[in-house]
Structure 1
Amino acid sequence: MQAFGLMLAPVLICLLSLGGAEGSCPTELGLDWKENDGFCYWYSPFKTSWTQASPACGVIHPNASLASVHNLLENAWIMETFQQMDMWLGLNDVAEEGQFVWTDGSPVDFTYWAAEQPDNYHDQDCAHMPDEVEPATGQWDDELCSEERNFLCKVAATP
């Protein structure tokens, strides 16, 4: 399945230009939100722990959370748009080991773990999209929540 997903990457990137439901993104604080398929995304230029990043999204915008990802197309759009990679996502199993949830409360209906992930190495509970893999695949890894990384916030676009 993963090899199949990698073969689809060029097709998915072409489809990104088709877009989805248009809306408007927050303008508060002058932040550069990017819109895709009815949602707005903001990539943090600074690094912090997942534990601090999670509430930071809500401070930046009251309805924002660390980004949830619900399909391969959305994952490819994030990877293509924010090319910096190595960012915290909202997926975690902090409350119960092995029971991953999104911080925004949406269903875990898609995952894109790298091979042999999540591995819970030394009690890793928080998901990120790493940049250590060459070529970059956009696949996820679990990590210690105390590690400092950039992060991605997500909020619904306003109609």
Structure 2
Amino acid sequence: MNYLWALSWLVLGRVWSQSTSPASCRCEEKANTCPFIGGIPGNSGPPGPPGEKGDQAHLFPSGKSVDGKIFKTDGSQGSYEASKATCFQAGGQLASPRSSAENAAVQQIVSRHNKAAYLGMNDIQTEGTFMYINGSEVRYTNWANEEPNNAGGKEDCIEIYLDGKWNDRSCTERRLIVCEF
């Protein structure tokens, strides 16, 4: 037993002398490779504060902020499904105005780009019952005159015109992608 005790002090002394000798170890220069004697890990500390939410401004530089939502576009276009996927990949969803102020923000973006955009609502499940992407029923609307009309029986998505009015439209056409974050 005394032999093990003496050996452990000898090893400890050797490691200590190597790790504290400036000539033999400069942790900064050796990427923290200095020898050390590891012990039993301690308890974990309390979790740190949450980080800030990432900024999507680099993906969508042109936007409007209303009621805590930010509506943005990068000027690209896509079908309804492609637009939904693009917004989801950027950490948002397809613009889904729930008030006249939010609708006005989206309208300003489409007007600036001179292109209609899909909104994040459709009546794919039940004709005539428009639902948001999350499954809740649409309460706020801003339909153009005589809309929605399901022309040709193939208009299940909603587009917003340059004047802010809505039209039901086929989901396969290409429209400006406007996301909300």
The answer, yes or no, to whether TM exceeds 0.5 is: yes
Separation in 2 of the partners of 1:34 and 1:75? 11
- Quick check: 1:127 aligned with 2:153? no
Corresponding residue for 2:105? Answer: 77
Corresponding residue for 2:36? Answer: none
Higher Cα Rg: structure 1 or 2?
2
- Quick check: 1:111 aligned with 2:141? yes
> Number of matched residues?
125
Q: Could you report, residue by residue, the CA deviation over 1:43-83 in whole angstroms, capped at 9, with x for unpaired residues?
A: 2411111121112211111xx11111111122122223442
In the alignment, structure 1 segments of 5+ residues that lack a partner are: 1-23
Q: Extract structure 1 runs of 4+ deviating beyond 4 A.
A: none
Q: Identity of aligned pairs, percent?
A: 30
- Quick check: 1:53 aligned with 2:53? no
Q: Which structure ranks higher in relative contact order (CA pairs < 8 Å, sequence separation ≥ 6)?
A: 1
Task: List aligned pairs for 1:20-59, cutoff 5 A.
Answer: 26-28=54-56, 30-31=58-59, 32=61, 33-59=63-89
Taking structure 2 as the reference length, the TM-score comes to: 0.62
Corresponding residue for 2:94? Answer: 66
Separation in 2 of the partners of 1:59 and 1:126? 20
Q: Could you report, residue by residue, the CA deviation over 1:98-123 in whole angstroms, capped at 9, with x for unpaired residues?
A: 11011144541200000111111121
Contact 2:130 2:137 in 1 (8 A): no
- Quick check: 1:143 aligned with 2:150? no
In the alignment, structure 2 segments of 5+ residues that lack a partner are: 1-51
